Structure 1
């Protein structure tokens, strides 16, 4: 059953008018015209649209005579209430959810994850130190043989999943994960509650397929979401431009998170090292400054890179060094005051080539200067714009090339981050 059905809800949440299909659905739920909307999922969307004063469009699931029906609802608020349009009307396939329930009942242990697939609760002995770690620190995920991972496919759609193959890194035990999504009152995904079973017959993944599969499962769909959202945001007069900007921002954040998780898996492999080659550290610093010039200009921040005539021979892998510098300069721009300046300067001392990235931000307390290089930590704890992995990964990369990253700062005096690498042939 398809088509669009319309309804009007007043400012007190009462259904004042509805097409026959929605009216019948309201009556089967125990309501009628003139009383509160008796369909909780639709009522939540209406309340959200009225509270925010903007159009809200999202999926909803309603119960009708023992069936679950998937709908797409669009609520438009106005002075008199909310106009509701509903389409979709598809019977929901609940087999995946039922399978997750069965798996949970037979589970060996439970696992809870947040929306970024970080561990929030774990029912496995001697693993308390894993709280806050990404799922990939605990297990190595395996694809289904066709390049897909059930957990990642489900994550993008806020759906249950079953049959996710994995290997426990500590012991090599083969596992099967199943889970159900958990959402907040506004319908936003807050995480997954997972059942974990032993899978004696499951083959352990070889090599490092999780990195490649993560890219296949996430980057393609996110790239398409980002392209579509950016196209919508450019449409003149579109009432969805604001939503499109939010969607594009979320897609960029998830793409950055995917990149960070892939890098995290790489840098934490035993024996991880990076082969160095002769590079010009000053040239790469100028390139990083150029890549961030537009972002800095939006804040009125000026980046002062090494002079065009400056050269700083060093040993390192160019792509990874540029990644580190973009992270350091990006952090400096983000924490600089409007109209501030970020400096990049090169020097050589004690057999090390150094690039200093200095800003005019609030500075960092001495007791926090070690903490910010840990996983999921930030210079400012209230800043939730990144994954909290950037400095951790950057330092691991620098050390894998024979260098390091340090910080020199004091409250109110800005911060100086120092990237050092072995000196190269001049």
Structure 2
């Protein structure tokens, strides 16, 4: 390669890819990117270029970019290896700096929410009145409060997580509670809550996502209180749900959290390529967590003697809760979810938590496979002895051959790379049958799909 342009800066590295000396402006960029002089090269793309030149033993040259928090710098770098066991000579022949665009408040809030989700040790779904719908936690020292919340579905979350800094009684506006400090029974660590509303433009929140976070690590050797729980099935021990999932979920969650921190550049400036790599790591971690959850549910529904806890519920209310929980994900694709009107009612005999689980799966699939800027409809039908919820979308639809196998285990209809596990519909149909109902589909290629959940009607309605 012919050398062109004036050399703006020279530098030298050693066999361990440490920058020994450098001219300005490279030396200043090294320090602004968090490095030292001398010290390991702190500019990721330049470090990769130096390693490649040293590994293959010949000159390499290309444009490299870096972010120092204030500017994006692009430079043409030439790297010459100095022989086996030695470092490299680095020359910069161009230098272009542009200010980093100021991030808008919505994007900053989105990053905060994303990071909080992956650092949370307990998450719960709340209705519009801040009453608990579901709760999930794998943290050992939150076992006591998790069990209490599971047993108290339908009660305000503040009954279980009393506020430390408020003398006022509930109800308080959710914005006053976001970030509030709370006391958590069974643990001495300091905790705070994050409340994420399920918003629709022009309306009050349809529900909330509650996250419980702590800045303090688990104390080594701390005694975790044992909370008695009633097993869903008194048969054989659950291998995934009781043995494997609790062990794997925490380290996988930490991997996801760290990857998201890197991807969103919270830890410092980073080139786009490295941010994309971190995003792929986070996505793979999320798929692993989803697979663990589905495998644990699979063990439950396939256990001998599995049954649900039927109750008198309003399918209209459950449908609105599910739509509110997934509203943010839908809006990211420009999808509008049309849920039943608050004045609609359809009484049924079924377990609230299991119906919500099925609807979340159906609506989630509809969002995943529907085109951008489309619609999803949730409709109710009184079938006499059966009450029906229909989730209809404008997706690609499924053929009769696909419909015949789509409720089988691990069936993904030939899809790959979509983040699915192939267990959701199988588990959902198993839950529907356990509640004395059925889950079916009506579709044709190019005409979207209609998934129908039938459960027994409430004879006293």
TM-score, normalised to structure 2's length? 0.49
Q: Residue 291 and residue 54 in structure 1: after superposition, are their counterparts in 2 closer, same or farther (change >3 A)?
A: farther
Where in structure 2 are there 5+ consecutive unaligned residues? 1-13, 20-51, 67-75, 82-234
Check conservation: 2:238, 2:299, Cα contact below 8 A: no
| 1:298-330, Cα deviation, whole Å (9 max, x unpaired) | 111111001111111112221111111011001
| 2:6 is equivalent to residue 6 of structure 1 | no
Tell me which residue corresponds to 1:218. Answer: 248
Q: Residue 310 and residue 4 in structure 1: after superposition, are their counterparts in 2 closer, same or farther (change >3 A)?
A: farther
Q: How many residues align?
A: 248
1:327 to 337, 351, 361: 361
| 2:404 is equivalent to residue 370 of structure 1 | yes
1:208 to 217, 230, 238: 238
Check conservation: 1:214, 1:262, Cα contact below 8 A: no
2:373 to 331, 339, 343: 339
Tell me which residue corresponds to 1:268. Answer: 302
Q: Which runs of 4+ in 1 moved over 6 A?
A: 33-36
Q: Residue 374 and residue 209 in structure 1: after superposition, are their counterparts in 2 closer, same or farther (change >3 A)?
A: closer
Q: Residue 230 and residue 410 in structure 1: after superposition, are their counterparts in 2 closer, same or farther (change >3 A)?
A: same
1:217-296 → structure 2 map (5 Å cutoff): 217-234=247-264, 235=266, 237-239=269-271, 240-296=274-330
Q: Residue 237 and residue 54 in structure 1: after superposition, are their counterparts in 2 closer, same or farther (change >3 A)?
A: closer
Matched residues in 2 for 1:81 and 1:385: separation? 40
Check conservation: 2:240, 2:295, Cα contact below 8 A: no
Matched residues in 2 for 1:414 and 1:311: separation? 26
Matched residues in 1 for 2:401 and 2:437: separation? 23
Tell me which residue corresponds to 2:432. Answer: 398
Matched residues in 2 for 1:346 and 1:267: separation? 26
| 1:223-272, Cα deviation, whole Å (9 max, x unpaired) | 22222222333326333433332222222111111000101111111232
**SS in structure 2 opposite 1:238?**
coil
| 1:165-220, Cα deviation, whole Å (9 max, x unpaired) | xxxxxxxxxxxxxxxxxxxxxxxxxxxxxxxxxxxxxxxx9533542112221111
1:350-389 → structure 2 map (5 Å cutoff): 350-379=384-413, 381-382=415-416, 384-389=418-423
**SS in structure 1 opposite 2:406?**
helix
- How far off is 1:382 after superposition? 4.2
In our comparison, the structure showing a higher alpha carbon Rg is: 2
Check conservation: 2:53, 2:79, Cα contact below 8 A: no
Check conservation: 1:303, 1:343, Cα contact below 8 A: yes
Bigger shift: residues 400-409 or 310-319:
310-319
**SS in structure 2 opposite 1:311?**
coil
Tell me which residue corresponds to 2:215. Answer: none
**SS in structure 2 opposite 1:5?**
coil
Matched residues in 1 for 2:346 and 2:414: separation? 32
Where in structure 1 are there 5+ consecutive unaligned residues? 9-32, 39-49, 56-77, 84-204
Q: Residue 347 and residue 307 in structure 1: after superposition, are their counterparts in 2 closer, same or farther (change >3 A)?
A: same
Tell me which residue corresponds to 1:21. Answer: none
Q: Residue 294 and residue 35 in structure 1: after superposition, are their counterparts in 2 closer, same or farther (change >3 A)?
A: closer
Check conservation: 1:230, 1:248, Cα contact below 8 A: yes
1:49-88 → structure 2 map (5 Å cutoff): 80=78
Bigger shift: residues 391-400 or 230-239:
230-239
Check conservation: 2:318, 2:356, Cα contact below 8 A: yes
- How far off is 1:345 after superposition? 0.4
TM-score, normalised to structure 1's length? 0.52
Q: Residue 278 and residue 379 in structure 1: after superposition, are their counterparts in 2 closer, same or farther (change >3 A)?
A: farther
Check conservation: 2:384, 2:457, Cα contact below 8 A: no
Matched residues in 2 for 1:228 and 1:220: separation? 12
**SS in structure 2 opposite 1:338?**
coil
